Amino acid sequence: MDNLLDHLNEQQREAVEYINGPSLIIAGAGSGKTRVLTYKIAYLLQQGYMPHSILALTFTNKAAREMKERIAEIIGWKYARYLWMGTFHSVFSRILRTEAGKIGFNSSFTIFDSADSRNMIKTIIKQYQLDDKIYKPARVQAMISNAKNALISPQMYAQNKELLEYDQRSKMPVLKDIYRDYNNRLKASNTMDFDDLLFYTNVLFRDHPDVLKSYQERYQFILVDEYQDTNFAQYLVVKQLADAHHRVCVVGDDAQSIYSFRGANIDNILKFKEVYPESKLFKLEQNYRSTQNIVNAANSLIQQNREQIKKTIYSKNDEGERIEVESAYSDILEGEIVSNKIWDIRREKKASYSDFVILYRTNAQSRIFEEALRKKNIPYRIYGGLSFYQRKEIKDVIAYFRMVVNPYDEEAFRRIINFPTRGIGDTTLNKIAAAARAHNVSLWEIIGDSLGYNLNVNAGTAKKLSAFRELIESFIARLQELSAYDLASRIVKQSGIATEAYQDQTPEGMSRQENLQELLGGIHEFCESRREEGLGGIGLMDFLSEVSLLSDQDTDKEADKEKVTMMTVHASKGLEFKNVFVVGLEEDLFPSSMAKNEFRGLEEERRLFYVAITRAKEYCMITYAKSRFRNGQINASNPSRFLRDIDTCYLNVIGGGFGVLNRPETYTNDLHDYTNTLRTSYPESPVTQRQPIAPHQEAGFPPASPRSNFVNARNATPRASAGVNSGEVQVGAVIKHERFGVGKVTAVTGDPDSRKATVEFENSGVKQLLLKFARFEVV
């Protein structure tokens, strides 16, 4: 191909060519940050770097895929295929699977999605008989998540005076216990939530310097997109991996930092220079995405923020139209204004529906636009609504998969124990759960030995429970030998899911059938493409690890279709569209009522608005309604204060001024205050810290847990761990089982992965143990 540097401007080229040290690229929206990363990777390959020694971390897996495709176009699939690219979560979950034993997990651990986590938190709140108006599950979940992202373990939490005082003040003194129980149960289920993937990677690197060293040697160059939205756990992982060679390049825009509610920390950008004093700073100033008017309007908006890095950004594209601002009497009319405008532009400019996006602050706003578009027969898709893998029928099937891969998975168990209906009711489930808590084992183990655990159920129920267990075991037995597709088809058939779905001939039933077909089709495709690419790993476990980490953007199958897109502003990061509608610019909505009284919160909302406007290439319209149906009633609403932040010379206000109320800005405490408490509770403020210190000190980790003598050195919590490297147990060995006591191994049979030991126990008779899951130590 021609010289790849020819496709870059001077500033971009310099940033790409600098490869012998750390670099930070700070630049406004649309200036080619992502493009620079892409070309830099291609350039590194040209310079002789091996693809598997380059690690690139992106905001979505889709972004990684697109980047990879682009690199393949430039330099060929031969190289691009082996690049390590993906989100932090997907890349580090792969590492954790390989190293699971070292942190007290089984490598078949399953991953909780956000709904699973919330369900488990709900169950715990119920157990403590707490008021869920105070202990709101979503809020508890967010607080735990923030703690994890700040690398604060339950033990540390319970000892942190400031956090405990904060919880007292917010009338949630039991939070520390919920956090502890939640984590214990995740571990007992051999599951991790999303935040654990980063948390445990840090634990792994802290406790196993040899492992850290091997990954430091593997990743010779590390690149991170959207660096402004990394949190402390992510920052630390990158820092540790890059410690050996300092070949790290991060790109970001502080003005687009919009995830602080998830613990993202803009300080990570600000302190880059302190962590890497020799680092080089690059700025990109030309915006290639948008018209001059859009760039200037966005600049005038963001200048109202007090906290920001100064930068210049200009466009040499056409001057373009002014941004249109229009008010509607009601939310319903707002929907009509937007749909009419889409209709008009499409006709005038012969635009395609896929060139339009409607951006809103909250998901709830989508309904009105759906109705308005439907009325006009305009096709649309909602991005990040209920994504494919979140649909009930799909989650049910996936829960079966999860049970088969990891039978300890509690949420999966709860989901399918009585689906399809097999006469096991809530009473029984509650009994199982109570027994599991009493014996500190998983639900699965309880039904494996209901007599031994004194599960008080009648003979009929006991029979149903063992039938269920046998069903799952029959799938487990085939896990290694069958491909994901073959096993999945078998599960769908033999579990009764297929029969259940095909009996229902209502339209809803039909759509469920289609979704099941689609899922199986997708699994088939997964197996085929893995085979074709010669990548291996076509088992159910491989499939599951991939789908558990897909974000809404990744599962978006309709992206290229002729449809108008709707999504939240948060989800739109990094994307671009010709025509953008930013809707609902009203006080208490955008900015949200939660954020508007807090300085940091308000500035973050303004950045969010900046992100929204800067998605537009050619045309941008901003709307607001004067009344809106919210919380069961119609309320009058006021135009957003942000409207007056944009210089009016870039606006075309339809129907005159918008009469924004001039109100003093007063701030009170809210969740941001909590995040700040977490922030200040680091032993050293990362910003002021000058000397690199040991990672565990820096993160304020608890001391490393003592190594146990459990087989496989599952040193964290031996109770929760199971599964034995079957090569290590031989006939004649004396073992001590958690429940059955001391016994002697008299036979070992089966393939490495379904290996069973026959053990004669001193007090419990002869038992067969599936080594993969049995809990014992060799005496």
Tokens of 276: 């890497």
In a 3-state reduction of DSSP, which class is residue 748?
A: strand
Comparing CB distances to ligand ATP, the nearer of 29 and 488 is 29
Name the packing angle between helices 209-218 and 194-207 (round to 10°).
110
Strand-pair category, 741-749 with 734-737: antiparallel
Residue 35 sits in the site that holds ligand ATP (CB under 6 A): yes
**Binding residues for Mg ion, per CB under 5 A?**
33-34, 574
Tokens of 646: 């944009």
Catalytic residue among 11, 33, 110, 247: 33
CB of 222 to ligand ATP, least distance (A): 18
Question: Among 11, 15, 16, 31, which residue interacts with ligand ATP (rule: CB under 6 A)?
Answer: 31
For residue 507, what is the enclosing H or E element? helix 507-533
Selection from Mg ion, ligand ATP, none that 9 binds (CB < 5 to 8 A by kind) is: ligand ATP
CB of 454 to Mg ion, least distance (A): 58
Residue 320 sits in the site that holds ligand ATP (CB under 6 A): no
If you ran DSSP here, which 8-state letter would residue 625 be given?
E
Selection from Mg ion, ligand ATP, none that 570 binds (CB < 5 to 8 A by kind) is: none
Comparing CB distances to ligand ATP, the nearer of 90 and 256 is 256
Whether the Cβ atoms of residue 195 and residue 233 lie closer than 8 Å to each other? yes
Strand-pair category, 577-582 with 616-625: parallel
Whether the Cβ atoms of residue 401 and residue 395 lie closer than 8 Å to each other? no
Restricted to residues 237-266, the positions that interact with ligand ATP (CB under 6 A) are: 253, 256
Determine if residue 31 is labeled as part of a ligand binding site.
Answer: yes
By CB under 6 A, which span of 5-13, 274-282, 450-458, 484-492 interacts with ligand ATP? 5-13
Q: Measured between alpha carbons, how far is 475 from 36 in angstroms, rounded to an integer?
A: 47
Comparing CB distances to ligand ATP, the nearer of 103 and 298 is 298
Selection from Mg ion, ligand ATP, none that 12 binds (CB < 5 to 8 A by kind) is: ligand ATP
Comparing CB distances to Mg ion, the nearer of 181 and 554 is 554
By CB under 6 A, which span of 30-38, 191-199, 719-727, 742-750 interacts with ligand ATP? 30-38
CB of 265 to ligand ATP, least distance (A): 18
CB of 574 to Mg ion, least distance (A): 4
Determine if residue 27 is labeled as part of a ligand binding site.
Answer: yes
Tokens of 474: 């029959």
58 strand-pairing partners: 87
For residue 8, what is the enclosing H or E element? none
Question: Among 15, 22, 30, 674, which residue interacts with ligand ATP (rule: CB under 6 A)?
Answer: 30
Selection from Mg ion, ligand ATP, none that 288 binds (CB < 5 to 8 A by kind) is: ligand ATP
For residue 705, the one-letter residue type is S
The Cβ-side half-sphere exposure at 441, using a 13 Å CA radius, reads: 20
Residue 601 sits in the site that holds ligand ATP (CB under 6 A): no
Among 346, 349, 371, 442, smallest CA distance to 403 is for 442
Residue 8 sits in the site that holds ligand ATP (CB under 6 A): yes
Q: How many residues bind ligand ATP (CB under 6 A)?
A: 17
Determine if residue 632 is labeled as part of a ligand binding site.
Answer: no
Q: Where are the alpha helices (DSSP H) in 128-208?
A: 137-149, 154-159, 161-169, 175-188, 194-207
Active site residue 34: yes
Comparing CB distances to ligand ATP, the nearer of 35 and 361 is 35
CB of 338 to ligand ATP, least distance (A): 23
Active site residue 286: no
CB of 274 to Mg ion, least distance (A): 25
The arrangement of strands across the sheet holding 577-582 comes to 380-382, 564-568, 356-360, 577-582, 616-625, 323-328, 651-653
The Cβ-side half-sphere exposure at 673, using a 13 Å CA radius, reads: 14
Comparing CB distances to Mg ion, the nearer of 33 and 402 is 33
CB of 34 to Mg ion, least distance (A): 3
Question: Among 33, 187, 464, 530, which residue interacts with ligand ATP (rule: CB under 6 A)?
Answer: 33
Catalytic residue among 113, 196, 226, 554: 226
**Binding-site string for ligand ATP from residue 555 to residue 584, where x marks contact by CB under 6 A and - marks none:** -------------------x-x--------
Q: Measured between alpha carbons, how far is 59 from 229 in angstroms, rounded to an integer?
A: 9
Whether the Cβ atoms of residue 422 and residue 456 lie closer than 8 Å to each other? no
Active site residue 33: yes
Q: In sequence order, what are the residues at sequence separation of 6 or more whose Cβ sits closer than 8 angstroms to the Cβ of residue 305?
A: 255, 603, 606, 607
Residue 289 sits in the site that holds ligand ATP (CB under 6 A): yes
Catalytic residue among 256, 568, 675, 677: 256
Question: Got the DSSP string for 631-670?
Answer: TTEEEE--B-GGGGGS-GGGEEETTS--------------
Residue whose CB is nearest to Mg ion in the complex, by number: 34
Residue with tokens 């430039």: 74
Comparing CB distances to ligand ATP, the nearer of 23 and 31 is 31
CB of 278 to Mg ion, least distance (A): 26
Question: Among 66, 243, 283, 288, which residue interacts with ligand ATP (rule: CB under 6 A)?
Answer: 288
Rg, Å, the chain Cα set: 28
Could you give phi then psi for residue 718, rounded to 5 degrees? -55, -35
Burial readout 363-381 (b: 16 or more C-beta within 10 A, e: otherwise): bebbebbeebbeeeebebb
Tokens of 192: 């991790």
Active site residue 393: no
Determine if residue 29 is labeled as part of a ligand binding site.
Answer: yes
Binding residues for ATP: 27-34
Contact footprint for ligand ATP (CB under 6 A):
8-9, 12, 27, 29-35, 253, 256, 288-289, 574, 576
Binding residues: 27-34
Known catalytic residues?
Answer: 33-34, 225-226, 256, 615
